[in-house]
Amino acid sequence: MITSVITFDRRPFENVLFHGFVLDAHGNKMSKSKGNIISPEDVVEKYGRDAFRYYFLSSQPWEDFYFSWEEMEETSRKLNIIRNTFQFVKTYVSEFPKRKPKLMKEDEWILSRLNQLILEYDEKFEKFWNFKSLKTLEKFILEDYSRFYIKLIRNRVSPAYKGKDKNAAFYTLLKVTETLTKLLAPICPFISEEAHQEITRKILGGKESVHLEDFPKADQKLINRKLERMMEMARKIIESSLFLRQKGGLKLRWAARRLVIVSNKEEVEEVVRDLGDVISRMANVKEIIFEKKPPIENFIHGVFDEGELFLDAAEDVELVEERLYRELVRKIQSMRKKAGLVVTDKIALTLKSDDEMEETLKKISNRLYKDVGASKVEIGKLIGNNSDQIKFKEKVIKINF
């Protein structure tokens, strides 16, 4: 400050944030005599520079900073989720549609949330509330994007999927990725640069570095607050349905026959009508029904903020086959990952069990091709060095490829 005023007759900055002391986890001053000094080099070596920056920037800068290895570990886990979202896009998205496709409701919702995020993030940074900006960004990536949207559209970007809404998922994922690399750049310069080079610049083009790009501007025409409120209600219904599954001992990957949503509120009926498909996919229920009166059947009962839920967990032949299919897909995908295969690699799959189970396996074998990347599926023999098994309905199914 003094040197700048003497030399140039002006201060070197308009505003500055000055943090307090860096203390240990118990609030003690770090010193060699106490043996509690933590060197930045040790933290960077274990967790990386981005995690170190993220950790410090997430706290209020005007207060003393209590360094905690446990909190540093938690920060690292959050960054791994962020990396995984970029890796998902890198793995499954191969191109950007030449024309803007017709978006699904979940696509419109995440783009609305994204543009609302830009407004809030920018506003908080302008006020030097960088820690609040980071928390807003973190909530979007971890809750809205990773744990909800990506789970919801995972099947839409599968290499074997041929639906018309595949391009809409590609379009949306790339738009979100492009924006997130820019928003993350001041906080995690290395992760954002890697994603810029390997995804957005490679597919969309762009400047030589993400740090040369302009800061994103919100497109307020894409912000749909009503849709956001409706999706929030849909997510509450989904969360409540998951509680009912736990209550009934029904795994999430096992499809349920139907979910009856009972309420006398029009907005709930509108959510079921417009976002019923979203609820169905995330709750893994074949049918979503809206009623104003409770059903007379003996369903698993629960409540949510705006009404009641009734889950039909009864089994039939179709559901048993569907649940077996989900268990097989999960196990085979795990085996593929363990074998170091990528999504485009094909496998020759063989399955073996007792005669009754093999008849069921034959019924679902044709469906396995697309979801496990198989060039062929054979029942009744075991061929291949990759082997494992599952137990379903007290019967063992052996798997080789």
Rounded Cα distance, 401 and 388, in Å: 9
Give the mean model confidence (pLDDT) for residues 84-90.
Answer: 96
Element (H, E) at 6: helix 2-8
Residue with tokens 């599954």: 245
Q: Provide, rounded to the nearest whole percent, the portion of the chain with pLDDT above 70.
A: 97
Query: What pLDDT does residue 312 have?
Result: 93
Task: Round to the nearest angstrom and report the end-to-end CA distance of the chain.
Answer: 69
3-class DSSP state for residue 312?
A: strand
- Please calculate the CA angle 186-89-343 and round it to the nearest 5 degrees: 145
Query: What pLDDT does residue 282 have?
Result: 96
pLDDT tens string 94-130? 899 989 999 999 999 999 999 999 999 999 988 888 8
Query: What pLDDT does residue 64 have?
Result: 73
Query: What pLDDT does residue 274 have?
Result: 96
Rounded Cα distance, 2 and 8, in Å: 10
Give the mean model confidence (pLDDT) for residues 355-369.
Answer: 87
Tell me the average pLDDT of the chain: 91
Amino acid identity of 376? K
Query: What pLDDT does residue 121 have?
Result: 95
Distance (Å) of CA 70 to CA 23, 46, 47, 57, 65: 15, 13, 12, 17, 14
Give the mean model confidence (pLDDT) for residues 172-199.
Answer: 96
Rounded Cα distance, 262 and 260, in Å: 6
Q: Model-level pTM?
A: 0.86
Query: What pLDDT does residue 16 have?
Result: 78
pLDDT tens string 124-156? 988 888 889 999 999 999 999 999 999 999 999
Higher pLDDT, 56 or 173: 173
Window from 52-61, 263-272, 356-365 with minimum mean pLDDT: 52-61
Query: What pLDDT does residue 25 have?
Result: 67
Query: What pLDDT does residue 152 have?
Result: 96
Query: What pLDDT does residue 371 have?
Result: 82
pLDDT tens string 189-205? 999 999 999 999 999 99
Query: What pLDDT does residue 2 have?
Result: 87
Cβ neighbours of residue 61 under 8 Å, at least 6 residues apart? 17, 18, 19, 20, 130, 131
Query: What pLDDT does residue 291 have?
Result: 95
Query: What pLDDT does residue 141 have?
Result: 97
3-class DSSP state for residue 35?
A: coil
Nearest to 47, CA basis, from 191, 143, 197: 191
Report yes or no: 286 and 258 within 8 Å, Cβ to Cβ: yes
The tokens of 54 are what?
Answer: 């993220």
Query: What pLDDT does residue 43 have?
Result: 83
pLDDT over threshold 70, residue 33: no
The tokens of 112 are what?
Answer: 């609305």
pLDDT over threshold 80, residue 37: no
Q: Give the dihedral of Cα atoms 315, 316, 319, 321; nearest 10 deg.
A: 120
Query: What pLDDT does residue 24 have?
Result: 63
Query: What pLDDT does residue 31 have?
Result: 67
Distance (Å) of CA 3 to CA 6, 9, 15, 16, 295: 5, 9, 17, 17, 79
**Packing angle of the helix pair 49-57, 130-139 (nearest 10 deg):** 110
Give the mean model confidence (pLDDT) for residues 322-345.
Answer: 90
Residue 186's CB is within 10 A of a number of other CB atoms, namely: 16
Window from 179-183, 189-193, 371-375 with minimum mean pLDDT: 371-375
Report yes or no: 190 and 48 within 8 Å, Cβ to Cβ: yes
The tokens of 340 are what?
Answer: 């170091």
What is the total residue count of the chain?
401
Residue 325's CB is within 10 A of a number of other CB atoms, namely: 20
Residue 354, burial from CB neighbour count under 10 angstroms (0-12, 13-18, 19+): exposed
pLDDT tens string 214-257? 999 999 999 999 999 999 999 999 999 999 999 988 888 889 99
